[in-house]
Every structure is written in C-alpha cells, then in structure tokens.
Amino acid sequence: MTTHTPTVFILFGATGDLARRMVLPAFYQLDKYGLMPECWRLVGNGRGEMSDEAFQAAAHDAVAEIETDLHAKKWAAHAKNLRFAGGGFSVDDAGELLNVLQQAKSELGLDTQFVYYLAVPPVAFEKLTSALAAHDLLDGAKVVYEKPYGTDPESFRHLDDLVHSVMDEEQVYRIDHFLGKEATQNIHVLRFGNQLFGDIWNARHVAQIHIDVPETLDVADRAEFYDATGAFRDMIVTHLFQVAAEIAMEPPLDMTADNLQEARESVLSAFRPLGTDDVVFGQVNGYRNLPEVANDSNTDTYAAVRLWVDTDRWRGVPFLLRSGKQLQRSHQRVSLILKKPDGPLRHIPGDGTIITFDLSGPGAIHLDLVLKKPGATLELAEQTISLCLDEVPDSDALPPYVSLLHDVTVGDRSLFTSSAGLASAWKVAQAIVANPPAPLPYDAGSWGPAAGTELAGHSGWLCD
C-alpha cells in the first residue's frame, strides 16, 4: 500500500541520536521497499545551521550503519528529496522551517499533506506542539510522538489536553515500536486465525503469562534521559502494558484500526491498579557512578511487575512483566504457560506446554510440547517446535519503525496507542509512580534482585 497524496515529512530532532539510529534509516527503507508516497520530501529540523548537502551526508552515514550494501544510485535518488531547515522552531521564531515548507509545497502541489515527527525528548513535546499550532501548521496534518507520551499521570494529562486543544485525536500517532513488531502482530493473528489456540486463550487453560525483556545493554549513552524515567516508566508502562493488552483483549468486531484500538483500550481499563506487593525495582551496582547520574539517584534500572487483568477471561492469571539493564542475557519474549493437564500421565516434565512469541529481530513462534521419548519405555520429554517468521514463504518482514511510518502515511492507526488507552495505563501505574519502592541493588550480569525472581513464583522466569 502506498498513498498518492504528496507528502512532506518534517523530522524534529533530525540531528539527534534517535533520528540517526532509527528514523532516518527507516525513511530510506520505506523508499527502498517502494512504500513512500509517489511524491515526497523529508525536511530535517534543528537548532543549528546545516546545508541540505550536509544533512544528506549525515543521513547517508546513518543509513550506512544499517544498510551495509547501500546502493549508490538508490541513495542518490533518495537523497535528492532531503532538505534541512535550521534555526530551531518555537512559538516566537519558526527559523527557516516555514520557508522550506512553502518551497516544498510549491514543488509538490497544493494537496500536499504534512507529517510532523517529534524525535525529541519528551520535555520538548509541549513547546513543539504549541509552535505548530501558533504557525497554523496543523490543519489536516499528522503528528507522530515518540514515547514516553508523558512521564506520569499528571504530565500525560497536561500534554494530552494541549494536543486535543489544537488537533483531533485522528491526527495523533503515538508511536510504540513494540506494537510494530511482526511477532507482536502475530499474537492476535495466531489466536484469531487458529481455533486450536483461540480456544485455550483464557484462564481455564493458561497458568501464567510472561512478558520478558531483559537487556545486557547499559545506559551510558543516554544516562541523562534514562535517569529521568527509569525502567518502569521507560518500558513497563509504555511498551509492555501495550503488549499485555494485545494478549488480553477480547476479540474485536473486525481487524480495522478503530476496532483493534477499542479492544486494547477496553482491556487496559480492566488492568488492576498496581500495589507495592506487585512491583520490584532494582538498580545495577555502579549506576550512580555514571557522569550524568546523581550520587543519590533512586532511578530503577530494573522493574518486575505482577499484573492482574480483571476480566472473566483472565481473572486469576498473573501477567508477569520484566525489563532491566545489564542483565545476564537479552531477550524479548512473550510466553503463555499452559496449565498441566489432569489425567493419566503423571510427572509432566518442566513447565509443560508453552507458547512463546520471540519479538526480537524478524520474530519467531516457539511451541514447547510434552512428547513420548522414543524408546522401549514410556518416558516423557520436552521438545520445542520453532517457526522463524522470516522463513515463511514469500515473506518480506518490515522493521518496526518502517512498518509504523508506512502506517502513518496511509492513515492506519491500528498499531498506535490511543489517548484513552494511555490514560488507563497511567491510572494502573499511578500509585507506584507517586510512591516508588526503593530499588534493590544487583550486580551487572546477574538476573537482577532476588525479589524480582521470587515475584514470578515457584517456576521463576523462563529466560533465567
């Protein structure tokens, strides 16, 4: 799918780390896959002065880090659409942006649509939103906000009220790259497209659900941002609550954007508010030694959460969410651990039947089964069957940012978070954000504080 509407993308924070690592490569990949609008421009914006040629060179270097076989002719065709508007952008001073946009519109036509991408720290969202309104740039436009969209319930409401005072909800795209992952989308496809799995998607058959995203990475290159948020707000309230909603939602009427969003919103409102017994925070030893971190910082670099979903389908089933820095291994996994069956077979080995969605890279689905071990005796064994999604015939998986940017251009909001859904998520987290538990120390390369492991119950975390 592509759009015939001429489009100008405006990338705020175009010289920043997020733009370099994720957004600029995603725009090139959209172009490479033939998913850009037929006529388009990408305008970078920043406080400093930069020529178009210098911005094109910086974008080339960013893309080359991802595309090791970058084709010269393809890049040249892409680069000719890149522009830069320096001088910053504020309510009082639009810098060069208005002139650059007017020039782009004169080249592309009067029916040009504008897409503003805010790849900036959350503290800049309010100023940029106000500036877009002040300079009359929001009529018919789309605005993409990176997460976190607010850092607590109060800041969320303040920002959301401002956004809705100057544009309609349908214009707003709150990006969450976990929802753009191929394996995340396969959670609802596997469930709704295969009765075998759809029939067991409930508390009668499922004992626990794990949403586990441990990381070996540290935060040295983004310590200032991270120290203002922490693992709970950076990962749990934003990404992992949304993944939990994907698993827990009731079947939507159909797979249209409005009905998918409504299904997620409905189940998010059924998440039970977290109490102190449901949360463990940790802080890796040595974190306070980082240059941009205060000596007395209580920021959590690890968070484990036991979440309850108070619906008839899931009542009594713990959803266990975990994320942290400098842990023993990196994973991005969603696992449904099924209850062990009653019946004639005794001593079911291990955790029994498990359905796992590997969200990392191109994604995979694993099914752990209990089988008879070949031989003369009735000996039970565990065996894993795996389907790597990039091995599906004729598949051409899109990286999450590419998939979500494409959805923005065609106006598909099904994989974006909504105002109502985020309001529910912050309500669930409100008591913890207001009075966070003291983080427990843990060593780099470990699995975090022991209390986080104990939260998962006698089986522990599957990835450990």
What residue type is 288 in one-letter code? R
Q: What is the pLDDT of residues 238-285, one digit of tens each?
A: 899 999 999 999 999 998 888 999 999 999 999 999 999 999 999 999
Annotated catalytic residue within 78, 210, 239, 406: 239
pLDDT cut 90: percent of the chain above it: 76
Q: How far apart are CA 303 and CA 323, in angstroms?
A: 6
Which residue did the predictor score with more confidence, 222 or 265?
265
Residue 14 assigned as binding residue: yes
Residue 216's CB: how many other CB atoms inside 10 A? Answer: 14
Residue 142 assigned as binding residue: no
- The tokens of 360 are what? 């990392």
Q: How far apart are CA 165 and CA 159, in angstroms?
A: 10
β-strands 279-284, 440-442 pairing: parallel
pLDDT at res. 230? 94
Residue 460 assigned as binding residue: no
What HEC string does 157-205 produce? HHHHHHHHHHCCHHHEEECCCCCCCHHHHHHHHHHHHCHHHHCCCCCCC
* Three-state SS at 313: coil
Q: Which residues contact 56 (CB under 8 A, 6 or more apart)?
A: 79, 82
Angle CA(1)–CA(414)–CA(425) in degrees, nearest 5? 155
Q: By the 8 A CB rule, do 23 and 11 touch?
A: yes
Report which DSSP code applies to 398: P
Q: By the 8 A CB rule, do 441 and 298 touch?
A: no
Residue 181 assigned as binding residue: yes
Residue 325 assigned as binding residue: yes
Q: What is the pLDDT of residues 30-78, one digit of tens each?
A: 999 999 999 999 999 988 889 999 999 999 999 999 888 888 999 999 9
- Whether 429 shows a pLDDT value over 70: the answer reads yes
- Whether 205 shows a pLDDT value over 80: the answer reads yes
Q: How far apart are CA 130 and CA 163, in angstroms?
A: 8
Please, is 294 exposed, middle or buried when counting C-beta atoms within 10 Å of its C-beta (0-12, 13-18, 19+)?
A: exposed
| Helices and strands (DSSP H and E) totals, the chain | 16, 15
Query: For the chain, what is the mean pLDDT?
Result: 93
| Side-chain-facing half-sphere of 21: CA atoms under 13 Å | 6
| Alpha-carbon dihedral sign for residues 272, 278, 327, 324 | positive
Residue 141 assigned as binding residue: no
The domains of the chain, with CATH numbers, are 7-146 (3.40.50.720), 182-397+440-455 (3.30.360.10)
Query: Model pTM greater than 0.75?
Result: yes
- Whether 129 shows a pLDDT value over 70: the answer reads yes
Residue 147 assigned as binding residue: yes
List, as one string, the DSSP characters of 327-388. Answer: BS----EEEEEEPPPPSS--S--TT--EEEEE-STT-EEEEEEEEEPSSSS--EEEEEEEEE
Q: Could you tell me the CA-to-CA distances from 334 to 139, 350, 358 in Å, in that order?
A: 40, 18, 7
pLDDT tier at 105, thresholds 50, 70, 90: very high
Catalytic residue list contains 164? no
Q: By the 8 A CB rule, do 219 and 301 touch?
A: yes
Residue 18 assigned as binding residue: yes
